[in-house]
Amino acid sequence: MQEHIISIDQSLCNRCGMCVKDCPDNVLALSDSGAEYNGRYCVRCGHCVAICPQNAFSISGFVDSPEEIRTDIKVDPEILLAQIKGRRSMRQFTDKDVPPEMISRIIEAGRYTPTGGNKQGVSYIIIRENKDECEKIAISLLRKIKPLFALSRPYMKYIEFGDHFLFKGAPVVILIKSINMLDGALAASTMELMAQTLGLGALYSGFFTLAVRRSRKLRKLLSVASKEKAVTTLVIGHPAVRYQRTAQRESANVIER
């Protein structure tokens, strides 16, 4: 794990106290010379860096630098809701490749998704070259365990695990793994939304995720450590179909107290 050191430029600090008020860990205090870090455990959330009007804070050890938050860029709530409503699980893809810069944006969306306690323990495996081999191993396993699963899940007996059942011929697959399941699931949701804004389609391949969890061969091939959990799998490609309208949903179950 990279070491992160908090530094405060006292010559810039104007003792406004905004960093102290916003710190979730109470590790900052004001002295006569300015803001000070008391050295206690800090989750390195970066709120002090983000909120300081004087840019007096810095945290070392990160690959990128803080970016100015632009107030002129706002997401239209109607457009965002329309995007969310219009998403579909894509099962038909063209043979057009997905360029690396698009995948980088999708990963970046996952990287900036919140994690509990700022653990940042989510990681990603981009499957391209070994895609066919991974799918073949997973399909073989699923065919073997299908009768057992059908005992508790009757719908399983109607599923036919064809050779391309899992990835649907899509060019890219991303396995999201994490020590914390919720963190990985949140990242995947943000990544899918980013894929949609790029004009791509995505499919959550739950069966492939199940295979990874149960197959030592797959875990070894994909370098999934024993303490890591395969959270979910995003199958990504250019859609071969265009959906014309949203799908209906049940009413939200909302309780007010």
Q: Place 30 in a pLDDT band, splitting at 50, 70 and 90.
A: very high
Reading phi first (left if > 0) and then psi (alpha if -120 to 50, else beta), residue 168 is in left
Q: Is residue 1 one of the residues assigned to a domain?
A: no
Domain membership of residue 49 as a residue range: 6-59
The answer to whether the beta carbons of residues 209 and 162 sit under 8 Å apart is no
Please give the structure tokens belonging to residue 176: 């999201």
Q: Is residue 243 one of the residues assigned to a domain?
A: no
In terms of domains, do 111 and 81 share one?
A: yes
- Calculate ∠ Cα 49-55-60, nearest 5°: 50
Amino acid sitting at position 131: K
pLDDT digits (tens, 9 = 90+) for 44-101: 999 999 999 999 999 999 989 999 999 999 999 999 999 999 999 999 999 999 999 9
User: Tokens 């995720």 appear where?
Assistant: 209
In terms of domains, do 162 and 204 share one?
A: yes
In terms of domains, do 167 and 202 share one?
A: yes
This prediction has a pTM of: 0.91
